[in-house]
Amino acid sequence: MSNTFLLPVVSPLGPEIFLAGVACCLIIFDSIFKDQGNVLPIISISGAAVTILMVLSSNGLGFSGMYNVDGFSVFFKIICLLALIFTVLMSHNHLKVLEVKREGEYYSLMLFSCVGMMVMASALDLIVLYLGLELMALSVYCLVGIQKKDKRASEAAIKYFLLGAFASCLFLFGLSYIYGITGTTSLTGITKFLTGEGIKSNPAFLLGLGLVLIAFSFKVAAAPFHMWTPDAYEGAMTPVTGFMSVAPKAAGFAALSRLLFEAFPALHGNWVIPFEIMIFLTMAIGNITAISQVSIKRMLAYSSIAHAGYALLGLLPGTAQGVSATMNYLFIYLFMNMGAFAVIVLLQQKGLAGERLEDYKGLAKSHPVAAGLMLVFMFSLTGIPPTAGFIGKFNLFVAALNGGYTGMVIWAVIFSAISAYFYLRVVMLMYMHEPQKDVALVHSGTLSAVLAMALAGVLIIGIYPNDLLSLAGIALGR
């Protein structure tokens, strides 16, 4: 990505510092002023927008090589910031519908988690990576439990916290092994060490590597480390669920790809087989379990597990082509998944209403536009052209087949076909059943904006993907 337009080069950590500053301002503002109106979301969104501009113009190494702002990290940061903007737009009205107080905390936590993700995307040192990871995770735990009085939310937050903390421990544990053997936490240092010595088969080192990878599999919700996902997704407020399914996952993928390709490329042969098993399980569990869900949020939770499986497919061959396919996929996933969640938000009232699949019966008759949008997002998640979902999957399949992983691609294809069943069930309920009761929509201008952007993203990328494809290539410096 070209780095010198728009603003003069700011220090590599500039955008993160700025966004953290905005988050702090939100807290102060929240505690000083009683009648806030729309100011908090406006500050959050403009803060995020400015951060995007700053990210686009930031560049270079910082903190003696611990922090690297390159095209790769910029791409992921933009995914996270866009997800942030979408979520804030979705939340604004929804918070009122659900009567959630403490808007200030809500928005600032979201911004802080985004800072954490940005740090993760750029971290070139395992300790920095850990800092980013924790900042992100702690903020998201709180976001899940923001509806203090809702039992499901509290349960979800506790579960998410305990399992997330466990994952962090595994990360630190693995980190200690790696540090013990290589004597450094810097990724470049580790790479140098690996090329220098015949350490590859040292079991202690492999154990450390394995633990670190498991920790990140937790974060991207890959099976068999996905157990927290359905409960956390179901318990959280719907906009938060949408956010969680896109942004932390993207950050997890950023860290994972950086680890695999900058620190351990030499160990490709060691991690590739466990990875294949993991991808298979992720796709299988995600797609098959989603079939039997009755809550649309739980269904999308399993679907997001399945999509993590597809996205991991790009990392398998260990090529730049594969990584760029994964990056593209996450970018596309941002639009289609956020779109689907925005439709859910549209239907959701206080309590459980709008969360069960049954509530979608006959939606095409009562609210044709909402149903039409959901139709597009569901077909896109299935991967049917001419939507963006197809482009994303196609790209991943090309990369994986090019790497010679034909078997995995065939499995991915079979599970995609299975996934059609539960995505299309939503379409079936909307279009082929009679409405059972009146479903009132909660319209708001901001929500319509999210829906419009998501729809535009899904269709434009679906029909003319060239720009996005070349963008990811440029981001990787190709």
Partner 1 sequence: MEYGFPLLSSLIFLPVIGAIGLLFIPRKEELEVKRFALLIAILEFFLSLPLWFGFDKTTSLMQFVEKKEWISSWNVYYYLGVDGISVLFVLLSTLITILCILVSWTAITEKIKEFFAALLFLEGVMIGVFCALDFFLFYIFWEAMLIPMYLIIGVWGGPGRLYATIKFFLYTLIGSLLMLVGIIMLYLKGGHTFDILKLASNSYDFKFQMILFWTFFAAFAVKVPMWPVHTWLPDAHTEAPAAGSVILAGILIKMGAYGFLRFSMPICPQATQAMTVPMLVLSVIAIIYGAVICLGQDDMKRLIAYSSVSHMGFVTLGIFALNYHGLEGAILQMINHGVVTGALFLSVGIIYEQTHTREISDYGGLATVTPIFAGFFLVFTLASIGFPSLNGFVGEFLILLGGFTAKTWAGFLGATGIIIGAGYMLWLYQRVFFMKVNEKVAGVRDINLREIITLLPMLILIFWIGIFPNTFLSYMHVSVTHLLDQVNQNASLAQTGPQAFLETAIRLIGG
Q: Of the two residues 227 and 401, which places its CB atom closer to partner 1 in the complex? A: 401
Measured from the CB atom, the residue of 10 and 459 that comes closer to partner 1 is 459
Return the CA Rg of the chain: 21
Nearer to partner 1, 201 or 466 (CB): 466
Strands 67-69 vs 60-62: parallel, antiparallel or unpaired: antiparallel
Nearer to partner 1, 214 or 374 (CB): 374
Q: Name the minimum Å distance from CB 470 to partner 1.
A: 5
- Cβ 358 to partner 1 shortest distance, Å: 15
Supply the minimum distance, in Å, between the C-beta of residue 308 and partner 1: 19
Which pair of tokens denotes residue 57?
Answer: 């113009």
Q: How far is the CB of 464 from partner 1 (least distance, A)?
A: 8
Using CA atoms, how far apart are residues 244 and 91, in angstroms rounded to an integer? 13
**Nearest in space to 241 (alpha carbons), one of 164, 302, 297, 291:** 297
Q: Which residues bind partner 1 (CB under 8 A)?
A: 364-365, 379, 384-386, 390, 394, 397-398, 401-402, 406, 409-410, 413-414, 416-417, 420-421, 424, 427-428, 431-432, 464-466, 469-470, 473
Phi, psi of 74 (to 5 degrees): -60, -40
Query: Could you tell me the sign of the dihedral formed by the alpha carbons of 242, 246, 251, 255, in that order?
Result: positive
Minimum distance, C-beta of residue 80 to partner 1, in the bound complex (Å): 24
Smaller CB separation from partner 1, 9 or 369: 369
Ramachandran region of residue 84, left (φ > 0), alpha (ψ -120 to 50) or beta? alpha
Cα–Cα distance measured from residue 176 to residue 339, given in angstroms and rounded to the nearest whole number: 41
CA distances from 139 to 114, 133, 148, 170, 206 (A): 9, 10, 15, 19, 31
Q: How far is the CB of 383 from partner 1 (least distance, A)?
A: 8
Among candidate residues 183, 68, 72, 70, the one with its CA nearest the CA of residue 129: 68
Which tokens hold the place of 197?
Answer: 């010595």
Q: How far is the CB of 459 from partner 1 (least distance, A)?
A: 12
Q: What amino acid is encoded at 208 in this protein? A: G
Of 212 and 364, which has the nearer Cβ to partner 1?
364
Beta carbon nearer to partner 1, 402 or 436: 402
Amino acid symbol at 370: A
Length of the chain: 478
